[in-house]
Amino acid sequence: MIDRVIWTWILLGVWAAGGIPAAPADKSVAPRIQIALEKVRADFDGRLEVRNGYDSTNLAACRFEVQLVEFPGPDDPEGRRKAFFRRAVGGPDVPAQDKGWLDLELPGNWKDADALVLVAFDPQGEELWTWSWFVHDKDHYAEKYVTTEAEEAPGVEVVGAPNEIHLRAGPLVLRFVGNSGELVGVTLDERPIAFAAGPKLIGGATAPSKVSFSQTGEAVSLNVTYTGEMDYVRWQLCPTGWVRLECQYELEGALQVFGIGFEYPQDRVRGVRWLGRGPDRVWKDRMKGEVLDIHSNTSEDRTPGLKRGVPEFKGYYRDWNWAILETDQGAITIVNATEDLFLALYRPEDSPDPRNMKPNAPDTGIAFLHGIPAIGSRFLNPEAPGPEREKNVAAGRYRTTVWFHFGGVEGPSRPANVRQRTARNGQM
């Protein structure tokens, strides 16, 4: 027993080289019960394949609890997750070191949930682990959270300025460089918000070739086409103040990091609150173990190895639906409408004694990435052989769609005169 505990600490680790926290003890892949489901697909039938990692215990001696939960949107600052369905499920008859199926016995309205949660208990009644999965795709949640039309909302207009183009919706103004379409900045009620310099392509080279405008319903779009590896960028401003950014680029080859990014002064950021996996950041080689919930973190610099027990702020976050950056210029709300997109917040700090764990990562500012770097370990540097540590292999076209809202989002309930309509598959 003592040997097993020692080896568990060595292999899973609470504190790795240089004081960098290892990924949480990921019992989703630990020896006792393994569940391989990564995502809930449209054809999910409520049955999970499980592997029994016990040496001599049948999973029938264990029990499970199924929960269907709802999460609040970014318009509810005090909201917490709520379970509208709970059910105890007996363990399946799966012998030790064998595979079988667990029927979750889901109700007919299970797709009304935002997430499916499964808790496993051992034969002694002790909790082993909690797994969680979003039930729908990212586009579904964007449709749920973003309001694009309102009967009494101001119109959207294009305003010319010296060397700039402005898109205006009431008190919100987006400022762009006139001949490139690059975002210069944002103003809200004539107060500047220093979110700018993007979207810049991370991992490739590109140059703008044409800037144009279009209108879909009440929304106005600024469209930019490019030469090089960026295909296009489309900014769409809705009369409600929500801003849709869609871009597409094509990259090939091995890249440490790739995606799109913006600049925003880090010293203006107070913290972040998000719905997604957390509370810790992730790396390419440390992706497991985080749980779906509403998490929050302050922007205090926490160099690994100098302060324990508190998640770092800078880094990469996965499987997120929305995030709110709290700044001294007001809230910046971001809603994700893209599968497998990482939210990057600046460049992670290195430990004073990183050993091999020193990622070769650029400072991306605030970025939306399809590939993130590995961190390595005490014995293996981030580029050591192995699929989890190898560079990302970009192969083809990548599309990114996110929504922005500057300033507080009205809520928690939408006004009765607001009718919701959002982009699905690039259409309004």
CATH number for 97: 2.60.40.10
Range from 4-8, 60-64, 279-283 carrying the lowest mean pLDDT: 4-8
What would the mean pLDDT of 263-279 be, rounded to a whole number? Answer: 95
Rounded Cα–Cα distance for residues 130 and 27 (Å)? 8
Q: How close are the terminal C-alpha atoms of the chain, in Å?
A: 60
Asked if residue 22 is part of any domain, the answer here is no
Mean pLDDT of 7-36: 51
Q: How far is CA 298 from CA 2, 302, 324, in A?
A: 38, 10, 12
Q: Let me know whether 373 and 310 are in one domain.
A: yes
Average pLDDT over residues 91-103: 97
* 167 in Cβ contact with 158 (< 8 Å): yes
Same domain for 190 and 98: no
Residues 66 and 211 in one domain: no
Q: Which of 86, 107, 136 is the last residue of a domain?
A: 136
Poorest-pLDDT segment among 20-29, 90-99, 319-328: 20-29
My answer on whether 103 and 172 are in the same domain is no
pLDDT band at 384 (very low <50, low <70, confident <90, very high): low
- The whole-number pLDDT of residue 308 equals 58
The last residue of a domain, from among 92, 110, 136: 136
Instruction: Give the percent of the chain with pLDDT over 90.
Output: 66
pLDDT of 16 above 90: no
CATH number at residue 251: 2.70.98.10
DSSP assignment string, 168-186: EETTEEEEEETTT--EEEE
pLDDT band at 109 (very low <50, low <70, confident <90, very high): very high
223 shares a domain with 155:
yes
Residue 309 sits in the same domain as residue 412: yes
H/E stretch holding 9 reads helix 2-12
What pLDDT score was predicted for residue 225? Answer: 98
Q: Average model confidence (pLDDT) for the chain?
A: 85
Residue 413: pLDDT band (50, 70, 90) is very low
Among 73-77, 249-253, 370-374, which range has the highest average pLDDT? 249-253
Residue after which a domain boundary falls, among 136, 169, 188: 136
Q: Tell whether 357 is covered by a domain.
A: yes
Q: What are the backbone angles phi and psi of residue 15, rounded to the nearest 5°?
A: -135, 125
Residues 253, 259, 265, 270, Cα dihedral to 10°: -120
pTM of the model: 0.87
301 located within any domain:
yes
Domain count, the chain: 2
Range of the domain at 177: 146-428
In a domain? residue 115: yes
Is residue 321 located within the same domain as residue 346?
A: yes
Residue 112 has pLDDT above 70, yes or no: yes
